[in-house]
Amino acid sequence: MMSEFLPTLEFAKQLDEKDTLSRFREEFYLKPGTIYMDGNSLGLLSKRAEKTLLETLEDWKQYGIDGWTQGKHPWFYMSEELGKKLAPLVGASEEEVIVTGSTTVNLHQLVSTFYKPEGKRTKILADELNFPSDIYALQSQLRLHGLDPDTHLIRVKSRDGRYLDEEDLIQAMTDEVALVVLPTILYRSGQILDMKRLTEAAHKKGIIIGFDACHSAGSIPHYFSEWDVDFAFWCNYKHLNGGPGAVGALFVNRKHFNQLPGMTGWFGSNKEKQFDMEHTFTPANSAGAFQIGTPHVLSLAPLIGSLDMFHEAGIERIREKSLKLTQYLMDLIETELAGMGFHIGSPREEERRGGHVSLEHEEAARICKSLKENGVIPDFRAPNIIRLAPVALYTSYQEVWEVVQILKTIMTEKQYEKFKNEREVVA
């Protein structure tokens, strides 16, 4: 519980008055009468992201093909420039990050590069709580090597269905494992894995290790270079507010720059050689080599404005407020919703908790529908999880207080009973 906590509206307002990041709230388009608690699935549009998107459209209008090298935001180096902006948020050098592809495409690229089955080292290590798309990609990569995913994809079990124990993951790193791919944060519970410890353990056993940072990028600080992580990949539409379908990003440790990407394409070329049109691929001496095709310029453009805000706010301050918001939310849940069948499924320890709170209830799907009817936008994850994500840049403490009061009313009045306890097509 917070050192000072009161379950009152006045206390929430006091917290807002002390909030040093509150000015950024005005930068976002917030729908009147709605409290948005789903920023861990899709971040809201900011005025700066809108501005840089419109500027890029104007460049297209004014310059046509010359927009590749002219205009407000020239397209030819846009992915590299955004990589430089992202690098401090994940603890990397500018050359180690590139904005390209999508989460799953980037995972395919990285696995095709770093998964090299040889001798008895033929297995890939993952976990049973990972997001399905990652598992699908790993299964297909194994099939491409003529290997059976049922025997060659190790999915480490959770002891309780919520969390992973790092010790279990390390014990599974046997001499049969060629590659480890794990999430930085578990998408259901919000547990942060100890990336530094896991990387050290993998390297001691001669194993390459990479992380899916979709639920952590823009929410917590990372130190990928310092931890000597081999690679990482993530989307930019959640906490980083890049917009639906925003271009993803990847990190490759500079020690691997001499490695030819598993899937090569002309945008991974050395920029000075790219338009020579040679049939010999000359890779960029950076993470840029892992690009495949032409960047999706209009899906890159919003990130220019969005990332400017992250540099102004600072990832450390964002993390500090995020922890306070999630702690405040959990304190309110325990105080106001006691005896109503809820269980907090997120870690209480700050070093293990990401940017959202996982609230479990047997009627979760119906409760989510009631929340939306009452102007709260949550996120449902089967079978019984309500994910609530108070985002540091645009969620107020008063909104967190109001969400819990709305939940209390829903449960007291049993408003959820009029809905079916099943998810919508898009949960």
11 marked among binding-site residues: no
390 marked among binding-site residues: no
294 marked among binding-site residues: yes
133 marked among binding-site residues: yes
Q: How far is residue 149's CA from residue 320's CA, in Å, rounded to a whole number? A: 41
199 marked among binding-site residues: no
> Quick one: CA dihedral 248, 254, 255, 260, positive or negative?
positive
**Cβ–Cβ < 8 Å for 207, 178:** yes
237 Cβ contact partners less than 8 Å away, ≥ 6 residues apart: 42, 43, 243, 244, 245, 246
Query: E strand or H helix at 376, and its extent?
Result: strand 376-377
Q: How far is residue 189's CA from residue 344's CA, in Å, rounded to a whole number? A: 9
Q: How far is residue 199's CA from residue 393's CA, in Å, rounded to a whole number? A: 31
DSSP per-residue codes, 203-260: HHTT-EEEEE-TTTTTTS---HHHHT--EEEE-SSSTT---TT---EEEE-GGGTTSP
212 marked among binding-site residues: yes
Peptide bond into 383 cis (omega under 30): yes
361 marked among binding-site residues: no
Report in angstroms the alpha-carbon separations of 127 from 31, 38, 185, 191, 269: 38, 25, 12, 13, 34
Annotated binding-site positions: 103-104, 131-134, 212, 215, 237, 266, 294
Known binding residues for pyridoxal 5'-phosphate:
103-104, 131-134, 212, 215, 237, 266, 294
